[in-house]
Amino acid sequence: MAAHFQSFNRRQFIKGISLALGTTALGAPLLGFGSGNKTYGEKEKDWGLQGNAQKKKLGVALVGLGNYSTNQLAPALQETEHCYLAGIVTGTPSKAETLKKKYNLPDKNIYTYETMEQVANNPDIDVLYIVLPNGLHAEYTIKAANAGKNVICEKPMATSVEDCQRMIDACKKNKVHLSIGYRLHFEPHHQRIMELGQKKVYGDVKKIEAADSFVIGNPDVWRLDKKLAGGGPLMDLGIYCVQGAIYTMGESPVAITARFGKVTKPKFFNEVEETISWQMHFTNRAVADCRSSYNEEGNLLYGEAEKGWWRLQPAYSYSGLKGKTSEGAMDFPQVNQQARQLDGIAQNIREGTESRVPGEMGMRDVRILMAIYEAARTGKRVSLG
């Protein structure tokens, strides 16, 4: 009986994956808006691909060559099927030189922040991927859209809801595609959790626990600068807990309660929070209890339903995810999350279909992050209309 149950779930899961990689996303109902991956109108279909480019591998230029671009995205773009590393935008000539040699990039595809807008005239570049500090996401996404290029923007989408709206508007106006770098939507353990929760495989979800934290070792980084980061661990790490809770439930929370933790290292945490814990309250009375800190370790997504439970720990790492359910170990491969994400988004752009991780989802999450801060500041329950 248990074996049959498992194989049924596995079949369902595989179906889910193939749907997710095609034009209908498993993630569609969790957006809570729009109709999933609808095809856009004929007029909008070109997605800044400059004519006949729809059939080729898309050229991606990374904007900002920090840790994530250099160590994750650039290598992932060597493994992708539907896109490749075509160019870079950087303020540091030595980084440009290193990547140019390593990935054989032509000089004409290497830009500085000042020259980036000239990319408008470069048919090699179809997508600009914004991998800058959070406070710069809006400015560079809007510049990229105005240059007629499709955009992938890293999480969190921006540091205010107003900026998110401006980014969405700029992409709509220029008829380009906008996605957020939510890699876990393309990862099999997380896709299984979406299915367990949203399809109520073990009945109604009653409880979620999520934590994402690490110890920050250096006080002089943009992540501790309010203007550049928008906030502390909540913006950087807690967003994964918010995402995890929402895609487990398949809907947004209706209210938030929260509180800030103690500041134990005032030299580090004089602009942003050191630790924050919060609860996301859902319509069926399920509660997601979440926590994020820059001064402890944490990496968990747990869910409990009427007839079973699941636990991912570590949950948010680039590899080595470990999952268990009340029926036993989760047996899924470790994948190159960034390569899958890039390929999934590139396919959407080429096919003219809606992203599985669109700007609207990024804005929904920033709205929730802001509500969490408001609840922690005021000590009051904040309703999300």
Told to check if 335 binds ligand NAD by CB under 6 A, we report no
With CB under 6 A as the contact rule, the residue among 21, 228, 263, 287 that binds ligand NAD is 228
Told to check if 134 binds ligand NAD by CB under 6 A, we report yes
Told to check if 356 binds ligand NAD by CB under 6 A, we report no
> In the numeric block, which tokens belong to residue 249?
């439930």
Give me the least distance between CB of 44 and ligand NAD, in Å please. 27
Give me the least distance between CB of 14 and ligand NAD, in Å please. 26
Query: Number of residues in contact with ligand NAD, rule: CB under 6 A?
Result: 19
Q: Which residue is nearest to ligand NAD (CB)?
A: 66
Told to check if 94 binds ligand NAD by CB under 6 A, we report no
With CB under 6 A as the contact rule, the residue among 25, 77, 131, 315 that binds ligand NAD is 131
Stretch 50-79 residues interacting with ligand NAD (CB under 6 A): 64-69
DSSP state letters, 97-108: HHHHHHHT--GG
Give me the least distance between CB of 201 and ligand NAD, in Å please. 27
Give me the least distance between CB of 73 and ligand NAD, in Å please. 9
Largest distance between two CA atoms of the chain: 63
Contact present, 112 and 136 (Cβ < 8 Å): no
With CB under 6 A as the contact rule, the residue among 76, 96, 110, 132 that binds ligand NAD is 132
Told to check if 48 binds ligand NAD by CB under 6 A, we report no
Radius of gyration of the chain (CA): 20
Nearer to ligand NAD, 130 or 286 (CB): 130
Rounded Cα distance between 108 and 121, Å, is 11
Sheet bearing 382-383, strands edge to edge = 328-329, 323-325, 309-312, 298-305, 205-213, 287-293, 275-281, 255-260, 382-383
Rounded Cα distance between 252 and 283, Å, is 9
Give me the least distance between CB of 63 and ligand NAD, in Å please. 9
Told to check if 214 binds ligand NAD by CB under 6 A, we report no
Q: Is 91 exposed, middle or buried (0-12, 13-18, 19+ CB in 10 A)?
A: exposed
Distances from the Cα of 209 to the Cα of 173, 206, 252, angstroms: 39, 11, 16
* Chain contacts with ligand NAD (rule: CB under 6 A): 64-69, 91, 131-134, 136, 154-155, 181, 183, 222, 228, 236
